[in-house]
Chains A and B, each alone.
Chain A
Amino acid sequence: MEFYIITLVKAALIAFVLLTAAAYLVWLERKVLAHIQLRLGPSRVGPHGLLQPLADAVKLLTKEDLIPRDAHKPFYLLAPLLAVSLSLISICVIPFGPEVEIFGYRTYLQLTDLSIGVLVVLAVSSLSVYGVALAGWASNSKYSLLGGLRSSAQMVSYELPLAITVAAPLLLANTLSFRELVDAQAGYYFGIIPRWNIFQFPMPQIFGFIIFLIAAFAETNRVPFDLPEAENELVAGFHTEYSSMKFAAFFTAEYINIMTICCVATLLFLGGWQPLFPAQYGSDFVPVLVNLGAAAVALYHGLNPARPKDRLTLPVVAAVFAGIALLFLVPFLKPILVPLFWFATKTGFLVFVFIWVRGTLPRFRYDQLMKFAWTFLFPVALLNLLATSFLVAVTSK
């Protein structure tokens, strides 16, 4: 009984955090892109546009829900449902931190610890092609069909290098469970270099990490591989004919997929919640310093305001950051929050890279995309796996 209650609470918490984060990821993306292009981005709804996600949600909910006359209705309705539910499944096996004790209950900061967690993520990501392909086909429109076809071909092609690079860290850790993978990356070489898989002896997975990131861009249909929704050729690709909440379902699924794949990259290559340097050099105080620094910057700009209303908003932001910094000092919360901080920082950085790349790189041509996957990425991933397995075989025992 206790197990069910704890799992229910954890599921509700993870779903809430995930959906909120997805909504604010849209805000963050619009802000970062705007600043890359020397614009301001959303700024009307709430201070700094912070309430924009709420406004977007209300807008999408109240829009007219159109179904094209000649669409294949059951599949047309099934596709967004499939996309969003599959994107929510794989977060179940992602661990966010070590085993912790809350109110006397010892529990993992994870919904469920499967012994085949990595395979589950791969299986779900290979199934998520159907949402896109079905949407493209069932809309009965040429733009959607072409978008769906491109997307399924692209996702199948890039799944191969993705799966092969995932195999290399698994070889190093000798397990398929995410939790054991992170535990295998604990500790430091020479007391300072973390044993994350990108630095791991005998075969640092730095190339594997880069290949994984490139394939992840293609798997999530992001720039520079966003051919399925190339606006200037295909209007909006596979979701051209979708409106209102059904469009929102695809949109949410895309952003949740980005976060999931960044979590997986963090767990596989960046050591999960293991800190950057050992605790004896004070890595536990990094979150406090970071948050206090953010508070100081906000306070400085609040006292020297660029706009009149900053005098009111920025000191509040500073107080929030200072409060978070104090939370990291509470001895009861510290063992829970510090690993979460490291995990969130690494994942957040990778998510930022996704947005950064979108603001920087132009789109590939479709034949370049396919050629790149099959003639470059796949052989390199294979070489990486061969070298890793050879070195692991030589050095083990």
Chain B
Amino acid sequence: MDAILFLIFATIAVLCAINLVVQKHPISSALSLIGVMASLAVLYLLLGGEFLAAVQLIVYAGAIMVLFVFVIMLLNAGAERRSNRSLMATLFGVPLLAAFLALVAYVIQRGLPPTEGVYFGGFTQGTPRAIGRVLFTQYLLPFEVTSVLILIAIIGAVVLARKEI
């Protein structure tokens, strides 16, 4: 059952990711990205990370992608025009990509320790309680640093936008 669900949603995620690059219209690409996020949320759920799955949906699909779609709608961006591909890209693109993927696969295969398969219900540290505890004890410093970083980004955005007026 887990394996079937994993295969279904992993396939959807990959198909959506390919669609994201192939589509010409920005709205189609944005919606494909939402598809990727949603299927990733399902994969988190299958791993037992229920909190992560919900937050993935709320933050990425529900907040960030809404802003993407909003901006695309506001700019009324049309379908993108395709430029003539450069000679370099046509000649070396596919071989280099294949080589890179092979390298990544090799490194992952060598570097990672052999583990037994993950199954549903095997991981029980994904509850909001467990994540909150870890976030405020073990990873307190990175957590706070990230929040300060985001605050700086917000203030920076406000300052940049003010200049325009």
A64 to B27, CA, bound (A): 28
Q: Give B32-62 as 1s and 0s: 1 = Cβ < 8 Å from A's Cβ atoms.
A: 0010000000000000001100110110011
Is residue B119 within 8 Å, beta carbon to beta carbon, of the partner chain? no
Closest to A163 in B: B58
Q: Give A299-315 as 1s and 0s: 1 = Cβ < 8 Å from B's Cβ atoms.
A: 00000000000000000
Whether B62 contacts A126 by the Cβ 8 Å rule is yes
Whether B127 contacts A126 by the Cβ 8 Å rule is no
Interface residues of A in 130-166 (CB under 8 A from B): 130, 133-134, 136-137, 145, 148-149, 152-153, 156, 159
CB neighbours (8 Å) of B127 from chain A are 115
Whether B66 contacts A133 by the Cβ 8 Å rule is yes
B115 to chain A, nearest CB (A): 26
9 cross-chain pairs, A with B, having the tightest CB-CB distances, nearest first: A126-B62, A119-B54, A123-B57, A123-B58, A137-B73, A116-B50, A116-B54, A129-B66, A123-B54
Closest to B41 in A: A123
Whether A126 contacts B61 by the Cβ 8 Å rule is yes
Interface residues on A, range: 20 to 34
Given known A-B contacts A126-B61, A130-B69, A137 and B27 have beta carbons under 8 A apart: yes
Given known A-B contacts A116-B51, A149-B74, A127 and B57 have beta carbons under 8 A apart: yes
A397 to B58, CA, bound (A): 33
CB neighbours (8 Å) of B69 from chain A are 130, 133-134, 137, 152
Is residue A51 within 8 Å, beta carbon to beta carbon, of the partner chain? no
A71 to B111, CA, bound (A): 51
Closest to B128 in A: A176
Given known A-B contacts A75-B27, A129-B62, A176-B128, A119 and B55 have beta carbons under 8 A apart: yes
Is residue B63 within 8 Å, beta carbon to beta carbon, of the partner chain? yes
Is residue A122 within 8 Å, beta carbon to beta carbon, of the partner chain? yes
A115 to B27, CA, bound (A): 34
Q: Give B48-89 as 1s and 0s: 1 = Cβ < 8 Å from A's Cβ atoms.
A: 001100110110011100110110011010000000000000
CB neighbours (8 Å) of B51 from chain A are 116, 119
Given known A-B contacts A116-B50, A123-B58, A126-B61, A145 and B66 have beta carbons under 8 A apart: no
Is residue A327 within 8 Å, beta carbon to beta carbon, of the partner chain? no
Whether B27 contacts A127 by the Cβ 8 Å rule is no
B124 to chain A, nearest CB (A): 11
Whether B54 contacts A120 by the Cβ 8 Å rule is yes
Closest to A160 in B: B63
Interface residues of B in 5-31 (CB under 8 A from A): 27, 31
Closest to B76 in A: A145
CB neighbours (8 Å) of A114 from chain B are 50
14 contacts between A and B (CB under 8 A): A75-B31, A116-B51, A116-B128, A120-B54, A122-B54, A123-B54, A123-B57, A127-B57, A127-B62, A134-B27, A137-B69, A152-B70, A152-B73, A176-B128
A72 to B128, CA, bound (A): 41
Whether A126 contacts B73 by the Cβ 8 Å rule is no
Whether A122 contacts B58 by the Cβ 8 Å rule is yes
CB neighbours (8 Å) of A176 from chain B are 128
A119 to B127, CA, bound (A): 12
A285 to chain B, nearest CB (A): 40
A130 to B69, CA, bound (A): 9
Whether B63 contacts A156 by the Cβ 8 Å rule is yes
Whether A152 contacts B54 by the Cβ 8 Å rule is no
A125 to B34, CA, bound (A): 15
Given known A-B contacts A75-B27, A116-B50, A130-B34, A123 and B73 have beta carbons under 8 A apart: no
Known: A116-B51, A119-B51, A123-B61. 7 other contacts (CB 8 A): A116-B54, A116-B128, A122-B58, A126-B62, A129-B62, A134-B27, A137-B27
CB neighbours (8 Å) of B67 from chain A are 156
Closest to B50 in A: A116
A136 to B63, CA, bound (A): 18
A319 to B148, CA, bound (A): 66
B39 to chain A, nearest CB (A): 14
A352 to chain B, nearest CB (A): 30
Cross-chain contact of B62 among A72, A123, A149 (Cβ < 8 A) = A123
B71 to chain A, nearest CB (A): 10
Q: Give A154-184 as 1s and 0s: 1 = Cβ < 8 Å from B's Cβ atoms.
A: 0010010000000000000000100000000
